[in-house]
DNA sequence: TTTCTGAATTTCGTATACGAAATACAAGAA
DNA sequence: TTCTTGTATTTCGTATACGAAATTCAGAAA
């Protein structure tokens, strides 16, 4: 029997809500975070808000102004590119590990995942597409059996989400993205690691190019 | 003229002190963190302590017991191995980037760094050796010009420090480690990227083997 | 003796209070 | 008018207060 977990604290809930607001684009880069205002809106005292902001500051989603309070961090194109550069090394590596360690029901998981992805593309629901894109990659990290890779990418993903939202909202088709996911899985299931790694590398590079072009526009 | 920076808040100072206590091994894995006790010892109220602990929890250095308060996270051998697996992909990649982007005074920086490293080996000062080992690798990340890699490794490094302390305190010579650093720099300065990458890969693997063996002993 | 039970204690999360520093703004000087 | 300067307001960080939940432990029941 599982132990009963205590429910999330107000501080944690506040953190999650703020993080999501930032990553979904609801709070724009540069926007000031006023503790009183947030506390009032969430119907809590300033204490959990202050605590949540400390965590956000430590993970780089907000930054000190040097003056009063914090603002949502800017999405710098350089930072974005550096994350994709990191991914271009890590994700093919994860594919290699996944090939060695993937569970027996990997094919089944993959089919399910891809199906949900294509449904999202059909539905034109942008935020669902972003979430499923992450879920796809996290599935691979899971197969790779390396928690350090998963944690690293989880943090970076939130930074990417902020940029992706901008891009996808501008109507860039995520159809090609899921075609690439299809091919990655196909190669992996055929145990053609070299090809799977290469498809992944290209997938990342294409996503980077598409996004960077749009980011530098605005 | 540079702007005057506000001094670190008590919350941030408390966080830094606790993080260091955890990573240096002063606080052992499993040890309970009592907010009142810490507050009294640091001569602050519980508020900054609570805030600091929230940040430590988010970054995985402490974990909820499900009961009351938090404890220092266990150093799991699996987690340790996964970080080194991550490094084995990232660090050679960083070398490749560093080769392309290193600054003109890289050779000078490297000589200085290596000299300080060898002095530390001679001095037998364990914590200095650990710090300089990190500084060496961070120098490479700096040359690589990729902030995402640097941030990723900075977080993971604190987890590594906890394990390294155990190993180095048991008298494992860090002499070989600096010999390897020497060879990495030599290859990089000769622009032999393939060799430099390979030396780095081996450096990581050897460090992993040494540490893992000792970790599983205790 | 050992096991159970519930009151006392501890210790957390959160609310509220307070002082300090920054911003906003109005009134006077140029 | 525009610039300066002193004051009121805002808003942060931190201290303190308080209620709730978990732990501890003394005393009763077995």
Rounded to whole angstroms, the distance from the CA of residue B40 to the C1' of nucleotide C3 is 38
Give residue-wise pLDDT tens across range A146-168. Answer: 999 999 999 999 988 887 776 76
Q: How confident is the model at residue A169 (pLDDT cuts 50, 70, 90)?
A: low
Q: Which residue in A55, A146, A156 is closest to B85 by CB distance?
A: A146
Mean of all residue pLDDT scores within chain A: 91
- pLDDT recorded at residue A160: 87
Residue numbers in B near A64 (CB within 8 A): 6
Count residue pairs from A and B with Cβ separation < 8 A. Answer: 78
Give residue-wise pLDDT tens across range B146-176. Answer: 999 999 999 999 988 887 776 766 666 678 8
Q: Residue A32 forms beta bridges with which residues?
A: A71
The hierarchical CATH code for the domain A77-217 is: 1.20.120.530
Q: Per the structure block, which two tokens stand in for A88? A: 């271009």
Determine the Cα–Cα distance for residues A95 and B187; give it in Å rounded to an integer: 29
For chain A, residues classed under CATH 1.20.120.530 are 77-217
- pLDDT recorded at residue B170: 65
Give residue-wise pLDDT tens across range A57-79. Answer: 999 999 998 878 899 999 888 88
What is the arithmetic mean of pLDDT over B103-131? 92
Q: How confident is the model at residue B12 (pLDDT cuts 50, 70, 90)?
A: very high
Residue numbers in B near A86 (CB within 8 A): 90, 146, 148-149, 152
The hierarchical CATH code for the domain B10-72 is: 1.10.10.10
Considering only CA atoms, which residue is closest to the C1' of nucleotide C15? A45
What is the arithmetic mean of pLDDT over A104-111? 96
For chain B, residues classed under CATH 1.10.10.10 are 10-72
């Amino acid at each position: 029997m599982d132990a009963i977990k205590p429910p999330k604290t107000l501080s944690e809930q506040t953190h999650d809500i703020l993080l999501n607001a930032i990553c979904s684009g609801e709070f724009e880069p540069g926007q000031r975070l006023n503790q009183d205002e947030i506390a009032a809106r969430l119907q809590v005292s300033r204490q959990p808000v202050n605590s949540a902001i400390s965590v956000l500051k430590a993970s780089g989603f907000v930054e000190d102004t040097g003056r009063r309070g914090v603002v949502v961090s800017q999405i710098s194109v350089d930072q974005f590119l550096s994350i994709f550069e990191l991914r271009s090394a890590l994700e093919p590596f994860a594919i290699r590990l996944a090939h060695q360690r993937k569970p027996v029901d990997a094919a089944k998981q993959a089919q399910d995942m891809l199906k949900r992805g294509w449904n999202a593309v059909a539905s034109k629901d942008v935020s669902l597409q972003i979430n499923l894109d992450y879920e796809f990659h996290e599935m691979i990290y899971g197969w790779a059996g390396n928690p350090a890779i998963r944690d690293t990418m989880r943090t970076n993903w939130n930074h990417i989400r902020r940029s992706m939202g901008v891009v996808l909202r501008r109507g860039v088709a995520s159809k090609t993205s899921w075609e690439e996911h299809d091919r990655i899985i196909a190669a992996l299931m055929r145990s053609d690691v070299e090809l799977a790694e290469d498809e992944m590398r290209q997938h990342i590079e294409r996503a980077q190019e598409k996004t960077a072009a749009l980011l530098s526009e605005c």
